[in-house]
Amino acid sequence: MRAPPVLLMVLCSLVIVPAAQAQTKDADRWQIALESGEYLWDLRLVRLSGDSLIFRQADTVGSVSVQLVKELRLIRKTEVRLGLPGGGGGAMAALTGSDDEVYDMTTMDYAARIRTVQQVLLLHPPSP
């Protein structure tokens, strides 16, 4: 007995949708602003090692001293759903960064910066 094509499509979607949703977490990107005015872009946070924040950028692993971090910013993916109530504001929010999660460390002392990075890693655990 052959399965109807519609049944096959439904079964395939049950596998594909969870896999796509799992990749959404990996799509979160971080930006680190340094006290020097430099920016580190498109990062995945890995762990805190002593006083260094370890990150992954593409296929490279790097680190930065927490004392040099001015700001941590989670760049969230913006999803725009046209035709739905409230769905048109997503594009402007993406352009202005109002959807981003920002941790401003300019006024924090060293201990507060370490605690903030620890909290960030608890709230946003690194993906395997």
Domain boundaries, the chain: 28-78+92-128
User: What are the angstrom distances between the C-alpha of 7 and each of 2, 11, 60?
Assistant: 10, 6, 43
Give pLDDT, residue 118. Answer: 97
Left if phi > 0, otherwise alpha if psi is -120 to 50, otherwise beta: which for 105?
Answer: alpha
Give pLDDT, residue 77. Answer: 73
Give pLDDT, residue 128. Answer: 72
Q: Is the model's pLDDT at 6 over the cut of 70?
A: no
Confidence of residue 81 (pLDDT cuts 50, 70, 90): low
| Mean per-residue pLDDT over the chain, rounded | 79
Tens digits of per-residue pLDDT, 7-56? 444 455 444 444 444 444 455 799 999 999 999 999 999 999 999 999 99
Question: Could you tell me which residue, 128 or 55, shows the higher pLDDT?
Answer: 55
DSSP 65-85: EGGGEEEEEEE------TTST
